[in-house]
Amino acid sequence: MIARSPGGLPIYAVSYGKKEDFHSQANYNSAVAAGNPAYYAQKARGTKPVVLFLGPVHGQEVENIVGLVNLMHVAETGKDFRGQEWPTLVKKMEAVRIIVIPLANPDGRKRCPYDSFVGVPLDTMTKYGQGTRRDGSMYGWPGGKAVHPMKGDIGILGAYFNDNGVNIMQDEYFAPMAEETKAILALTRSEAPDMVVSLHSHGSNPVIVEPSFVPGFMKERVQSLSKRLEARFKKVGLPFGRVFTAAPEDPKFPPTKTFNLVSALHHISGTMAFTFECTHGAVSDQLTLPKVDHDQILNIQLTLFDEMLSDLLENRFYWQPPGK
């Protein structure tokens, strides 16, 4: 257990593989200021890469809990809960250290009355995701971010938020409001992961979201992963959205890009951090939404994890001290 939510619920981190001694002598940003991130973490050839799978910080985005619980089952048995074997994924998992936070917002998950939104009306998901005002009107997206912490005019507190009304994805990272946020950042600082995925869900096809306020070379790496994931999904018959086109951060006022949890994870550890949006399968009379079933959702999740590990094992950055 790495933290306890405001509602008194535990947040767990499960690890597979031995933790390396990266001989840290500085925090990441100080190391970069000194000219070499190896002062924060020495990542030489022969050390295992580290991957952090961050389960949903929004409690209604249940697809990702399913994916991570199945990932752990694959790690421990070689099979997902359907009995399907993933031999290449197992082999890749053995070559890295993996940390899984299956659920980062148990408060929100506890308040969500649905285990799946496949075939459920989109308005229902919005109602329990972003919540409602006292008069029953929905905050929706992005309206659910316009009040933070979410307190005051509340009918239903959306599963987006913990019991204190904090959206962990948009916390105040220089003075975090949520214990969950503090624990995620502390774990990332300690583990020095090479790659972190923050798992989310939306109504569109699956997609990797462009990270904001990170170096250009890191955006390029995330874009490269997005391209190979698009090709992999196409090959196995899974839907995919589109590969993002990297853009400069807000050249004009007002700002539209946000320094969010993914940005903070990079700046505390130098990690390749990104958001993945899975398709939740809700339906709408007003919008044309992609249709997915439960098997497809699980395949989307596990195929993503498999491709992430392939990309990392093939393209790892090595951080070595001067003279080595």
**DSSP assignment of 123-173:** HHHHHHHTEE-TTS-B--TTGGGSSSS--SS-SEE-TTS-TT---GGG--T
Residues 98 and 75: their CA atoms lie apart, in Å, by 10
pLDDT given for residue 324 in this prediction: 67
pLDDT at res. 214: 97
Cα distances (angstroms) measured from residue 213 to each of 38, 266, 293? 22, 9, 35
CA–CA gap between residue 285 and residue 19 (Å, rounded): 50
Cis peptide, bond prior to residue 102, ω within 30 of zero: no
Helix (H, G, I), strand (E, B), or coil: what is residue 313?
helix
The pLDDT, as a whole number, for residue 247 is: 86
Asked if 172 and 185 touch (Cβ cutoff 8 Å), the reply is no
Fill in the DSSP letter of residue 79.
B
Q: In the prediction, which pLDDT does 207 show?
A: 98
**From 3.30.70.330, 3.30.750.24, 3.40.630.10, 3.40.50.920, which CATH number describes the 3-111+162-281+293-313 domain?**
3.40.630.10
Runs of H (alpha helix) within the chain: 28-33, 63-77, 87-94, 106-111, 122-129, 179-191, 216-236, 261-269, 294-315
pLDDT number for residue 323? 74
* Tokens read off for 308: 């992430």
Kindly give the confidence (pLDDT) of every residue in the chain, 324 residues in length, as a single tens digit, with 9 standing for 90 and above.
999 999 999 999 999 999 999 999 999 999 999 999 999 999 999 899 999 999 999 999 999 999 999 999 999 999 999 999 999 999 999 999 999 999 999 999 999 999 999 999 999 999 999 999 999 999 999 999 999 999 999 999 999 999 999 999 999 999 999 999 999 999 999 999 999 999 999 999 999 999 999 999 999 999 999 999 999 999 999 999 999 998 888 888 999 899 999 999 999 999 999 999 999 999 999 989 999 999 999 999 999 999 999 999 999 999 998 876
Q: Where are the domains of the chain?
A: 3-111+162-281+293-313
Pairing of strands 50-54, 97-101: parallel
Residue 164 near residue 149, CB atoms below 8 Å: yes
